[in-house]
Amino acid sequence: MENELRIISVSKEFKDGYKALNNVSLDIKKGEFFSILGPSGCGKTTLLKMIAGFISPDSGEIRVNGERIDHLAPNERNVNTVFQNYALFPNMTVYDNIAFSLKLKKANKDTIDKEVHKYLDLVGLSEHRDKYPDSLSGGQKQRVAIARALINKPEVLLLDEPLSALDAKLRQKLLIELDTIHDEVGITFVFVTHDQSEALSISDRIAVMHKGDVLQVGTPNEIYETPVNTFVADFIGETNFLEGEIIKVYDNYAIAYEKDLGEFKVELDKPVKVGNKVKLTLRPEKILADNKMPNNPNDKYKILEGIVDEVIYNGFQSKLFIKLDNSDKIFKAFEQHREFVEQDELFEWKEKVYFYWNYEDAYLVEVM
């Protein structure tokens, strides 16, 4: 698949000395749903505004379909932006908001009417065409903003935290709608968010940013299961970190030692040698917990004993915080509720438990 949007060695420093972007490069494919993910202040919104033309780079290039656009004014780029605050015209109806750009281009009335109804239908707002923004819900306003951007038939649609002002259930509903709209129109979407679950659920690929740098680009599965470093592992979802020193190395795995954990196996996701300090990420859903010692445990599993320090019931799962015996270390484990759960079947506070994981499920993120 060809690259439609290319960010090439782009940097930006503001007058106060704040470096927003440090030599950032990204290749985004035609028709891709691409997310730029990171905490506040990481540079993701600066990068989006640079693609849109609202901020100029200090150095580097931005290209769409091979054509350099970083010298063009925003209205000269075939790129449209959907903003967090919707930016609708309050004195115009839904119909007129969506039609606005076509009227500016002096399209004929029949073309405008046909196109507006097409995009009203696409975003499911045909029955609201004559309403004003003040009478719409937040989700409806966002869909008007999306339709208004798409009617220009941009090559790239930029979405700047478009769901952050909405409540959790509505965000989830609009995420699905956004994905459906993307599939129908087939253009490139660049989605900026600080919400990991949004990015994981909707993206073809994700770029994780931190302090002006792109740390990792990959599919949601790659970002979650094989994070490139400790920051990415910790930022994407919840995790446990295991640390130890390599004491033996075999063909397919190594043995690490830590005073509280004892010896544990390490899959060789990266080359190691005896004496290396290592850090692994172990997702809570990979840990199994039981109030009985597992029968005939497989030698791939590391088994530990602990006390339930806290239980958080979330309906579909319980989050266990397990304090390791004779240690202050706390492990997080997620217990999925796949069947009906009676109250007395849940883990209890201060209950003794055995918890264990397959060493192949812990990913080696750092070798020191």
Looking at residue 343, what is its pLDDT? 61
Residue-range definition of the domain harbouring residue 283: 240-367
Tokens at residue 355, please? Answer: 């918890």
210 and 167 together in one domain? yes
Could you tell me the CATH number of the domain that includes residue 339? 2.40.50.140
- The answer to whether the CB of 350 falls within 8 A of the CB of 306 is no
* pLDDT one-digit tens code per residue, 11-37: 999 988 899 999 999 999 999 999 999
210 and 254 together in one domain? no
48 and 68 together in one domain? yes
Instruction: Using alpha carbons, list the distances in angstroms from residue 362 to 91, 217, 259, 341.
Output: 56, 21, 19, 29
305 and 173 together in one domain? no
pLDDT band at 341 (very low <50, low <70, confident <90, very high): low
Could you tell me the CATH number of the domain that includes residue 182? 3.40.50.300
pLDDT band at 167 (very low <50, low <70, confident <90, very high): confident
Q: Last residue of a domain, which of 173, 206, 235?
A: 235
- The answer to whether the CB of 30 falls within 8 A of the CB of 137 is no
* pLDDT one-digit tens code per residue, 32-87: 999 999 999 999 999 999 999 999 999 999 999 999 999 999 989 999 999 877 78
363 and 279 together in one domain? yes
Residues ≥6 apart with Cβ < 8 Å to 68: 61, 62
87 and 231 together in one domain? yes
268 and 158 together in one domain? no
329 and 361 together in one domain? yes
SS3 call for 145: helix
Residues ≥6 apart with Cβ < 8 Å to 143: 123, 124, 125, 174, 177
Q: Last residue of a domain, which of 202, 235, 268?
A: 235
204 and 250 together in one domain? no
158 and 220 together in one domain? yes
154 and 189 together in one domain? yes
Q: Last residue of a domain, which of 206, 235, 264?
A: 235
Q: What is the mean pLDDT of residues 282-310?
A: 92
Question: Exposure pattern of 183-196 as b/e (b: 16+ CB <10 Å)?
Answer: eebebbbbbbbbeb
pLDDT band at 169 (very low <50, low <70, confident <90, very high): confident
